[in-house]
Structure 1
Amino acid sequence: MKDDKPWFAPKRFGYGAGLPIAWQGWALLAVYTLVMLSPAPVLEWDPAIGLGFAIVVWLLATLAVVFIAKHKTRGGWRWRHGEKD
């Protein structure tokens, strides 16, 4: 079952995705928020180990969200000057 429906609206000005327009987009942002907060206990337990772990988690999570948002934005990512799509 292939889902080609967009999850995000394009930004009206600039480059990238705007707010979610489907529940999947909101779920992605909720999971991303939880993943970004997940290294907090390790950071508090041992900052030396936790910082490296946190940076890896944050980088991978951000790359995944950017990749998904780029592919699930209505009309794709391109520079916009305020025109309606």
Structure 2
Amino acid sequence: MKGFTRGDVARLRDWYRVRPGYWFAPKAYGLGAVPVTWQGWLLTAGFVLLALLIAGIAQQRSPAWLALLAPLTIGFVGLCWAKTDGGWRWRWGAEDRK
């Protein structure tokens, strides 16, 4: 199986480079973004930890977990959208970067 070459690594680095002030880069395929700075990774990890905490604390048969998780998710997605360099739209890979 072929491994990564220096050209592959450089191409990935260029693909996920963002301007200052942005924490996420658009995904190469599909809709959404990926964290590329420490701030983006911290926000993502914080969201996951808070979601797990809410799921663990809320009673299983109570809809209270949804009342807590919905605003958390909306806020997370909104902040990701605002901090993505290039915006969100459906992408088809390398031919879509032209």
TM-score range for the pair, normalised by the shorter chain length: 0.7 to 0.9
In 2, Cα distance between equivalents of 1:9 and 1:35: 23
Q: Runs ≥4 in structure 1, deviation > 2 angstroms?
A: none
SS in 2 for 1:38: helix
Q: Equivalent residue for 2:89?
A: 78
Structure 1, residues 43-75: CA drift from partner, whole Å, max 9, x if none?
Answer: 2xxx44xx3221111111110111011111111
TM-score computed with the length of structure 1 as normaliser:
0.76
State how 1:4-83 maps to structure 2 within 5 Å: 5-18=21-34, 20-39=35-54, 40-43=56-59, 47-48=60-61, 51-83=62-94
The higher radius of gyration belongs to 2
Q: Does 1 or 2 have the higher relative contact order (CA < 8 Å, sep 6+)?
A: 1
Work out the number of aligned pairs and report it.
76
TM-score computed with the length of structure 2 as normaliser:
0.67
The letter of the residue matching 2:46 is V
Structure 1, residues 15-66: CA drift from partner, whole Å, max 9, x if none?
Answer: 1112x111111111121012102221232xxx44xx3221111111110111
Alpha-carbon offset, residue 9 of structure 1: 1.3
